[in-house]
Structure 1
Amino acid sequence: MHIAFVDSNPAALEAIRLAKEAGHRVTYLQSADPFYPPTEGNLRIVASVDHLADGLVTTDPETVTRVLAARHAVDPIDVVTGQLELSAEAVALACRELGLRGTATDAVLTARRKDRCRAALEKAGLASARYALAGTEEDALAAAEEIGYPVVLKPPSGADSLLSRVAANPAEATAACRAVLTGLDAVPEQWHEQFTRGILVEEYLVGTLVSVELGAKDGEFFPFAVSGRFRWAEDEVVELGSYIPANLPEEQSAACIAYAIDVCRAIGLDLGVFHLEIMVTERGPVLVEVNPRVMGGALPTIYRHATGTDIFSGLLDILDPDAEPALPGALDGCVGGRKVMVRDGGTLSAGASVAWIADEPGVLEVIGFDSYGTGPGRDVSAGQIVARFILRGPDHPSVVRTAERILRRLEEDFGVALMIGEKD
């Protein structure tokens, strides 16, 4: 099978590695400004592909279409996939223009526009959040009053929560609007167009935040996992990490999966592995957002430790017309990935170290200072991630307790306050 990958987040480079190991031919369209660090391992994966088209603006549909068309003419492409959300629209439009197999174009365009996604849910009669798309600060403030505070204000097709804020009153909403309308300095230039489509005002959902990792192929859906989030007790908007499986009763997990399938059907997502963030509220599961890509960040690593399988192997099985996707079996305990996040800023002590964490019972991996550009004696700012660790426990509460114990010791060792304490 000839697979064309269009750009990638750091985790999804693993899909390319596994595709080459499985004997597939791989074409890779790489951004002029890759989203992943140029580590030895990452560069080795990129160098392994059969054809590399480098230095591209992968968010530009014309560029992606032109490059895919040229490659397809030489070596016919069987399927195209993109695992960076800001490139998803360009990939979908190129597939439609060239008649190439990939996720349905209209479904991707709907998923990438959160206002259109909400409209599709309403049309299908599915639970959703109240929302409005505003073009000006005045309209956004009027929408917030109508929806009722608190509200979330954000770009309708952003990524990584950039420029997203929660507002509890008109003054905070005004500041949030201005952040969306004037905050492009914090956004890579090639993403600007997708961040300047107005202001989305949404109802602030209260409940337990989870995500469903859902595959779709030939009209069937494959639930790979339901994952949970560590959320800071002092500000639940701040995510401190993720864990698998979610800390939900079995019937609630099943309800989240059923709802996720209904969402994909309503939008038309038909081929791929998708990451649906869902709030389990008093009225049941309600969509936060749907991402037309595999989960990112540390979740693929957490999934591998929790299930003994690789989510990107699942993606390749979904993309291969002749393969049968295999779902993980019963899970043994809980695996969590916990960020080490600075609370107030300061300077790390000269003796700061995370090396000892690897010797703690249950710890599976430690991602240290080098990966986050910091170290002993370095200044750090509030909210900065300085390290991360992954651990296993018999259940979610045990993982929380172990993580907190490690973080308390790190806080003393670092000489700066950390974000400790999970929202119940």
Structure 2
Amino acid sequence: MHIAFVDSNPAALEAVRLAKEAGHRVTFLQSPDPLYPRTERNLRILGMADRLIDDVATTDADAVAKALADCHADHAIDVVTSQHEMSTEAVALASRRLGLRSTCPEAVLTARRKDRCRAALEHAGLATAQWALAEDEEQVLAAAERIGYPVILKPPSGGDSLLSHVARDPSEATAACHSILTGTDAVPAGWREQFRRGVLVEEYLVGPLVSVELGVRDGEFFPFCVSGRFRWAGDEVVELGSYIPANLPEEQRAACETYAIAVCRAIGLDLGVFHLEIILTERGPVLVEVNPRVMGGALPTIYRHATATDIFTHLLDILDPAAKVGLPGPTNGCVGGRKVMALEAGTLRADATLESVRLHPAVLQVVDFADYRTGPGRAVAAGQVVARFILREQDHPSVVRAAEQILRTLEQNLGVKLMIGEKD
């Protein structure tokens, strides 16, 4: 099978390695400013590709279509995929133009536009948050008044929680509106068009935040896991990490999976592994967003530690029409991945080290300073991730306690205040 990967988040580079080890032909389209760091490991993986096409504007449908057309003419492409959220729209449009097999383009474009996604759920009769798409402050305030404070304000097709805000009154809604409409200069240039589509005003959903990792092929659905989230007590919009399995009773976990399948059907997502974020409200599961890509960040690594299987192997099996798709067995305890995030701007100590984290008996893996482009003596901004660690304990409460203990020690070692404390 010839797979064309169009860009990637850092975690999903693993899919390239696994594809080559499985004997597939791989083409990789790389952006001039990739999301992943150019570490020795990442460069080694990219070097495995049969064809690496560099400096492609992977958020531009014309540039992607041209690169794919050239590759397809040389060696027929069997399937196209992107694991970079901001590139999925360009891939959808390019694949439709060239007639290449990929996730249904219309479904990807609906998923990426949260306003259109909410409308699709309403049309299908599925639970969804109240919402409105606004173009200016007047419309934002009118929508917030109708929906009722507090509300969530964000770009309708943004990413990574950039420019997302909770507004509890009109003054906060006004400030959030201005931030979204004028703050795109802080967003990478290739992403800005997708961030400039107005302001989405949504109902503030109350309840645990979880995600469902769901594979789809030929009308068959494969629920790989339901994960939970660590959210900062100081601002629950800030996600501090994830853990598997979610801390839910079996009936609630099953309800989340059933709802996720209904969402994918309503939107038309038909091929791939998708990451659906859901709030488990008093009225049941309600979608936050559906991402037309595999889970990112540390979640694939957490999944591997928790299940002894690889989510990217599942992706490759889904993409291969001849492959059998399997589901993981029971998880081994609870595995959590915790970001080390600066609470305030500061400078890491000259002798800053992560050794205390590595020595903790519950820790399975540490993602070091270099992966976050920081290190001893380097300045860090408020909210910046400087490292990450993954740990295993018998259950979710034990993971929370161990992570807090590790972070309080680490705070002294790094010389900067950290975000510590989880939302209940």
TM-score range, shorter chain: over 0.9
Check whether the contact 2:9–2:83 (CA below 8 A) recurs between aligned residues. yes
Q: Which moved more, 1:284-293 or 1:224-233?
A: 224-233
Partner of 2:74: 74
Q: Secondary structure at the match of 1:31?
A: coil
Check whether the contact 2:147–2:203 (CA below 8 A) recurs between aligned residues. yes
Q: Which moved more, 1:287-296 or 1:408-417?
A: 408-417
Check whether the contact 2:356–2:410 (CA below 8 A) recurs between aligned residues. no
Aligned length: 424
Instruction: Report deviation, 1:16.
Output: 0.7
Instruction: Report deviation, 1:278.
Output: 0.2
Deviations 1:162-182 (A, max 9, x none): 111111111111111111111
Q: Kindly, what percent of the aligned residue pairs are identical? A: 73
Deviations 1:134-192 (A, max 9, x none): 11121111111111111111111111111111111111111111111111111111111
Partner of 2:357: 357
Partner of 1:27: 27
Matched, 1:213 2:213: yes
Q: Distance in 1 between matches of 2:316 and 2:92?
A: 18
Q: Distance in 2 between matches of 1:95 and 1:121?
A: 25
Q: Secondary structure at the match of 1:236?
A: coil
Instruction: Report deviation, 1:129.
Output: 0.3
Check whether the contact 2:356–2:409 (CA below 8 A) recurs between aligned residues. no
Q: Distance in 1 between matches of 2:186 and 2:383?
A: 16
Deviations 1:240-284 (A, max 9, x none): 110000001111000000000000000000000000000001111
Q: Distance in 1 between matches of 2:34 and 2:377?
A: 29
Instruction: Report deviation, 1:379.
Output: 3.3
| Aligned pairs (5 A) from 1:14-413 | 14-413=14-413
Q: Which moved more, 1:232-241 or 1:253-262?
A: 232-241
Q: Secondary structure at the match of 1:43?
A: helix
User: With structure 1 as the length reference, what TM-score do the two structures score?
Assistant: 0.98
Aligned-residue CA RMSD in angstroms? 1.2
Q: Distance in 2 between matches of 1:79 and 1:377?
A: 45
Q: Which moved more, 1:244-253 or 1:95-104?
A: 95-104
Instruction: Report deviation, 1:413.
Output: 2.8
Q: Distance in 2 between matches of 1:213 and 1:353?
A: 34
Q: Distance in 1 between matches of 2:355 and 2:347?
A: 19
In structure 2, what residue type is equivalent to 1:398? S
Q: Distance in 2 between matches of 1:302 and 1:350?
A: 30
Q: Secondary structure at the match of 1:404?
A: helix
Q: Distance in 1 between matches of 2:360 and 2:419?
A: 20
Instruction: Report deviation, 1:384.
Output: 2.0
Q: Distance in 1 between matches of 2:166 and 2:247?
A: 25
Q: Which moved more, 1:409-418 or 1:358-367?
A: 409-418
Q: Secondary structure at the match of 1:100?
A: coil
Q: Which moved more, 1:55-64 or 1:375-384?
A: 375-384
User: With structure 2 as the length reference, what TM-score do the two structures score?
Assistant: 0.98
Instruction: Report deviation, 1:60.
Output: 1.2
Q: Secondary structure at the match of 2:30?
A: strand
In structure 2, what residue type is equivalent to 1:259? Y
Q: Distance in 2 between matches of 1:25 and 1:375?
A: 37
Q: Distance in 2 between matches of 1:191 and 1:48?
A: 28
In structure 1, what residue type is equivalent to 2:410? L
* Unmatched runs of 5 consecutive residues or more in structure 2: none
Check whether the contact 2:231–2:238 (CA below 8 A) recurs between aligned residues. yes
Q: Distance in 2 between matches of 1:415 and 1:60?
A: 42
Instruction: Report deviation, 1:376.
Output: 3.4
Q: Distance in 2 between matches of 1:43 and 1:309?
A: 24
Q: Distance in 2 between matches of 1:249 and 1:158?
A: 32
Instruction: Report deviation, 1:394.
Output: 0.7
